[in-house]
């Protein structure tokens, strides 16, 4: 199979170009020796089927950031027919450094000057003939966003495949020698790029004067984040309900009758375990899809880097940057997409610290549980205070987590970000991004989710002759065994079983309580009000807020971090924190005489 590697600096529209060339057929794949997933797609160019691989954006061929290592390892291990180098045509003054470095690899190149529309708008003219001569490679102007020049690029690629039909290995010696290309770069830029010395004040400058205003910037940021949040969940929540309804209907109309002939144990496993458990997690899908589309708008518009600028003064003291804060806020809807959203961070340690922090965000699933129990146990006036205090706790514990672990995770990576001009993403790009991210979530997380669901079902149903989720099941016995751990928190073993269910998805806690107490709805509410005083109830709420992330979140953490030890930490740390917080609250309140 022929292979082309797509290469370029960050923010060159490389991914948009990749989408243009390959359509929706791209796959995420693992490559030997590389820890991050790369996008690749098989495309018919001329008469041959070619694999196009989208490599991460890099600033320098010789650097040691994770992305730069990935690119080097890929090029070392995978022979290619040639490299397609994507540059931002309006920033050639610095981006031409990359093809100058790549020249040393001894592999044919095609240089694509993307965002030709923006460059023309800025009054930048490029002497492509001179560039071709110096770089020894064909140079083409394109605009991936609007699709201009794409057909010519396809033909060019097909022609180059004809000229270089053999897969070639790069000359790895080029990696070892550090480059002294600065003089070469200066000469090349001054000969081939003609740009006005001063850029005219642009729409971006005017918008920035407002959005990055010293005192208005932050309030506007919170306003925009609130808008994004509202959009995601007002679109996503009805879709989530619809998905739940659909799955419930399917179960009643088709699956239950079909499973009627099966033995009871097997039926319970298939229906109550596998179907309900996996179904619950599946209802996250619509929200994830909507989240990705909306995040793609925020990311592509260029506002994310501005958010980092606005909140960095505060976040840097926690060892984080502004992008972590954006994701933490997103987590208040659902933790899963927020964890996936940390991909925008380049430094792996910064990502991990953020992933440790996000599960403490009070997501909408936990909100359901809190609303039910607070309404049942608290007086109306105290209810609002109780809920508000849980939100405060959520922020406080997330910041505490970041603060305590920042030494372990926060790299010394300095904040050095490009502030791209504001751009409107195209509809096509958004749909592709949403679709791809959702598929990727499904593919990566499904195995782990099935495993967790089966485990919880087994614990709450074995031995099979015991009442499900009753005290005689494994879960019941575990709860008894754990009683010394939970009783200092004011939680009895029945509540502890409900927490075990909550591991699958936190909104299941109420359903589990209904099963355990054999009562639902208003009956359950009055039962809880009778059995729990407010101190016990609040202790339970605190524990529910903090303890282990739900299965979907945990599997996403596992998938994104690619590390079991880190996943274990993400499971154990909140558990410990939950215990300490509930213990401190319950014993403190009791000591004060409540």
Decide if residue 272 touches other proteins (CB under 8 A): no
Residue among 219, 441, 255 nearest 336 (CA): 441
CB of 95 to other proteins, least distance (A): 9
CB of 265 to other proteins, least distance (A): 59
Identified binder of other proteins from the candidate list 9, 142, 528, 542, rule CB under 8 A? 9
β-strand 48-54 against 38-45: which pairing, if any?
Answer: antiparallel
CB of 192 to other proteins, least distance (A): 14
Identified binder of other proteins from the candidate list 212, 243, 431, 439, rule CB under 8 A? 212
Q: How far apart are CA 537 and CA 528, in angstroms?
A: 9
Terminal Cα-to-Cα distance of the chain (whole angstroms): 73
Identified binder of other proteins from the candidate list 28, 36, 122, 158, rule CB under 8 A? 122
Residue closer to other proteins by CB (options 415, 576) is 415
Please give the torsion angle defined by the CA atoms of residues 219, 222, 226 and 229, in that order, rounded to the nearest 10 degrees. 160
Residue closer to other proteins by CB (options 298, 308) is 308
What HEC string does 203-248 produce?
HHHHHHHHHCCCCCHHHHHHHHHHHHHHHHHHHHHHHHHHHHHHHH
User: Applying CB under 8 A, which part among 140-148, 413-421, 491-499, 575-583 lies near other proteins?
Assistant: 413-421
Phi/psi for 479 (5° steps) reads -60, -40
Decide if residue 414 touches other proteins (CB under 8 A): yes
CB of 376 to other proteins, least distance (A): 43
Identified binder of other proteins from the candidate list 310, 360, 445, 537, rule CB under 8 A? 310
CB of 70 to other proteins, least distance (A): 16
Residue closer to other proteins by CB (options 314, 451) is 314
Identified binder of other proteins from the candidate list 48, 231, 301, 316, rule CB under 8 A? 316
Identified binder of other proteins from the candidate list 182, 241, 252, 472, rule CB under 8 A? 182
Residue closer to other proteins by CB (options 313, 384) is 313
Token code pair at residue 81: 């027919």
Decide if residue 416 touches other proteins (CB under 8 A): yes
User: Applying CB under 8 A, which part among 163-171, 408-416, 451-459, 496-504 lies near other proteins?
Assistant: 408-416
CB of 216 to other proteins, least distance (A): 11
**Biggest distance spanned by C-alpha atoms of the chain:** 85
Task: Provide long-range contacts, Cβ within 8 A and 24+ apart, for 180-185.
Answer: 181/97, 181/100, 181/101, 184/100, 185/96, 185/97, 185/100
Identified binder of other proteins from the candidate list 60, 168, 301, 389, rule CB under 8 A? 60
Strand, coil or helix: what is 112? strand
Decide if residue 483 touches other proteins (CB under 8 A): no
Q: How far apart are CA 42 and CA 2, in angstroms?
A: 9
Residue closer to other proteins by CB (options 309, 501) is 309
CB of 213 to other proteins, least distance (A): 9
Decide if residue 417 touches other proteins (CB under 8 A): yes
Number of residues interacting with other proteins: please give it, by CB under 8 A.
41
- Interacting positions 287-306 with other proteins (CB under 8 A): 305
Q: How far apart are CA 154 and CA 157, in angstroms?
A: 5
Q: Which residues contact 565 (CB under 8 A, 6 or more apart)?
A: none
Phi/psi for 369 (5° steps) reads -60, -45
- Interacting positions 419-478 with other proteins (CB under 8 A): 419-421
Residue closer to other proteins by CB (options 205, 533) is 205
CB of 113 to other proteins, least distance (A): 13
Q: How far apart are CA 38 and CA 71, in angstroms?
A: 10
Q: How far apart are CA 41 and CA 23, in angstroms?
A: 9
Q: How far apart are CA 86 and CA 189, in angstroms?
A: 17
Q: How far apart are CA 209 and CA 186, in angstroms?
A: 32
- Interacting positions 213-242 with other proteins (CB under 8 A): 214-215, 217
Cis peptide before 16 (omega within 30 of 0): no
Q: How far apart are CA 53 and CA 42, in angstroms?
A: 9
Identified binder of other proteins from the candidate list 134, 158, 195, 237, rule CB under 8 A? 195
Decide if residue 207 touches other proteins (CB under 8 A): no
Residue among 549, 224, 221, 226 nearest 362 (CA): 549
Decide if residue 407 touches other proteins (CB under 8 A): no
Task: Provide long-range contacts, Cβ within 8 A and 24+ apart, for 195-198.
Answer: 195/93, 195/122, 195/123, 195/124, 195/125, 196/122, 196/123, 196/124
- Interacting positions 80-119 with other proteins (CB under 8 A): 90-91, 93-94, 97-98
C-alpha dist (Å) from residue 579 to 330, 433, 539, 540, 541: 25, 39, 9, 10, 12
Residue closer to other proteins by CB (options 163, 314) is 314
Decide if residue 415 touches other proteins (CB under 8 A): yes
Residue closer to other proteins by CB (options 7, 504) is 7
CB 268 within 8 A of CB 259: no
β-strand 48-54 against 2-8: which pairing, if any?
Answer: parallel
CB of 304 to other proteins, least distance (A): 12
Decide if residue 128 touches other proteins (CB under 8 A): no
Decide if residue 314 touches other proteins (CB under 8 A): yes
Residue among 3, 89, 64, 2 nearest 38 (CA): 3
CB of 116 to other proteins, least distance (A): 14
Q: Which residues contact other proteins by CB under 8 A? A: 9, 58-60, 62-65, 90-91, 93-94, 97-98, 122, 124, 182, 186, 195, 199, 208, 212, 214-215, 217, 305, 308-310, 312-314, 316, 414-421
């Amino acid at each position: 199979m022929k292979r082309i590697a797509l290469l370029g600096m960050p923010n060159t529209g490389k991914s948009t170009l990749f989408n243009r060339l390959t359509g929706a057929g791209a796959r995420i794949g693992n490559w030997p020796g590389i820890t991050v997933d790369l996008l690749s797609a098989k495309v018919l160019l001329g008469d041959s089927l070619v694999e196009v691989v989208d490599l991460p954006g890099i600033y320098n061929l010789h650097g040691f950031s994770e992305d730069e290592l990935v690119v080097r390892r890929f090029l070392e291990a995978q022979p290619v027919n040639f490299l397609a180098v994507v540059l931002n045509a309006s920033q050639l003054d610095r981006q031409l450094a990359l093809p100058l470095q790549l020249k040393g690899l001894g592999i044919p190149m095609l240089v694509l000057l993307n965002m030709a529309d923006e460059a023309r708008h800025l009054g930048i003219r490029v002497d492509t003939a001179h560039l071709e001569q110096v770089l020894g490679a064909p140079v083409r102007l394109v605009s991936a966003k609007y699709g201009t020049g794409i057909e010519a690029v396809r033909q060019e690629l097909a022609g180059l495949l004809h000229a270089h039909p053999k897969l070639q290995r790069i000359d790895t010696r080029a990696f070892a020698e550090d480059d002294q290309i600065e003089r070469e770069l200066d000469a090349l830029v001054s000969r081939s790029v003609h740009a006005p010395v001063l850029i005219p004040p642009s729409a971006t400058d005017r918008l920035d004067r407002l959005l990055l205003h010293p005192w208005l910037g932050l309030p506007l940021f919170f306003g925009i984040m609130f808008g994004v949040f509202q959009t995601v969940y007002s679109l996503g929540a009805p879709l989530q309900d619809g998905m739940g309804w659909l799955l419930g209907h399917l179960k009643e109309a088709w699956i239950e009758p079909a499973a009627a002939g099966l033995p009871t144990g097997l039926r319970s496993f298939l229906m109550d375990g596998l179907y309900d458990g996996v179904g619950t997690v599946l209802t996250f899908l619509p929200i994830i899809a909507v989240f990705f589309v909306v995040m793609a708008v925020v990311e592509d518009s260029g506002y994310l880097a501005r958010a980092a600028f606005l909140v960095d003064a505060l976040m840097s003291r926690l060892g984080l940057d502004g992008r972590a804060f954006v994701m933490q806020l997103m987590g208040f809807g659902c933790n899963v997409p927020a964890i996936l959203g940390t991909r925008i961070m380049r430094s792996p340690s910064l990502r991990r610290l953020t992933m440790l922090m996000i599960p403490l965000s009070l997501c909408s699933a936990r909100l359901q549980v809190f609303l039910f129990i607070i309404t049942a146990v608290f007086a109306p006036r105290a209810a609002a205070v109780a809920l508000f205090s849980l939100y405060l706790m959520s922020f406080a514990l997330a910041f505490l987590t970041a603060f305590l672990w920042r030494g372990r995770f926060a790299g010394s990576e300095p904040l050095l970000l490009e502030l791209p001009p504001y751009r409107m993403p195209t509809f096509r790009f958004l749909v592709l991004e949403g679709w791809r991210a959702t598929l990727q979530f499904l593919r990566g997380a499904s195995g782990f989710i099935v495993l967790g669901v089966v485990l919880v079902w087994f614990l709450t149903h074995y031995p099979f002759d015991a009442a499900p989720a009753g005290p005689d099941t494994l879960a019941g016995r575990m709860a008894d065994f754990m009683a010394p751990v939970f009783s200092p928190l004011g939680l009895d073993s029945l509540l502890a079983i409900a927490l075990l269910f909550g591991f699958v998805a936190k909104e299941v806690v109420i359903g589990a309580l209904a099963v355990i107490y054999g009562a639902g709805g208003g009956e359950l509410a009055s039962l809880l009000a009778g059995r729990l005083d407010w101190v016990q109830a609040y202790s339970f709420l605190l524990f529910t807020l903090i303890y282990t992330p739900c299965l979907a979140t945990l599997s996403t953490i596992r998938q994104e971090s690619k590390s079991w030890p880190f996943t274990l930490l993400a499971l154990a740390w909140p558990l410990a924190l939950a215990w300490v917080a509930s213990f401190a609250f319950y014993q403190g309140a009791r000591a004060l005489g409540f």
